[in-house]
Amino acid sequence: MQVRMASKNDLVQVCELIRELGYEAAESDLAMQLDTYVDMQTSALMVTETPAGDLSGLISGHLIPLMHQPGNVGRITAFVVREDHRSTGIGTVLLEALESWFRDRGCFRFEVTSGDHRARAHKFYDSKGYISGGYRYIK
């Protein structure tokens, strides 16, 4: 299994993974988002690729500069492993790769938002040292 940055050529499989995550985004919309991730220096979209060339997972993140101190917060914005590849270590590999990317860019803290219905994901984050804290307000 190889971890690499996604490319524009990954669009179809990225769409499949985003749908597996539960989002019904149009391919044209995801194409624009993929272009943004590929082109921005402050965003990353990493994928795991099987030897056969299939994508088995993806994780995306952004750097958020802080006003009150130097450095950035690394924010995970999407994270999914294909259902038939879960519990094989792919999630850990993706998370560690993105955390390394964050550290290399001055992040001192990482954060992720996970829906209340994603109990399995919460257990995964707990096992990786993430803690639930604060409130999230949405408007």
20-50 pLDDT per residue, tens: 988 888 888 899 999 988 889 999 999 999 9
Residues 10/34, Cβ–Cβ less than 8 Å: yes
pLDDT band at 3 (very low <50, low <70, confident <90, very high): very high
Give per-residue pLDDT as tens, 62-116.
999 999 999 999 999 999 999 999 988 999 999 999 999 999 999 999 998 876 6
Please state, in angstroms and rounded to a whole number, the distance separating the CA atoms of residues 112 and 12.
25
Q: What is the pLDDT of residue 25?
A: 83
pTM for the whole structure: 0.88
Q: What is the pLDDT of residue 65?
A: 94
Please state, in angstroms and rounded to a whole number, the distance separating the CA atoms of residues 134 and 27.
34
Q: What is the pLDDT of residue 80?
A: 95
Tally helices (H) and strands (E) across the chain: 4, 5
Q: Residue 114 half-sphere exposure, CB side, CA atoms within 13 Å?
A: 18
The rounded mean pLDDT for the chain is: 90
Please state, in angstroms and rounded to a whole number, the distance separating the CA atoms of residues 82 and 54.
10
Q: What is the pLDDT of residue 48?
A: 97
Residues 46/94, Cβ–Cβ less than 8 Å: yes
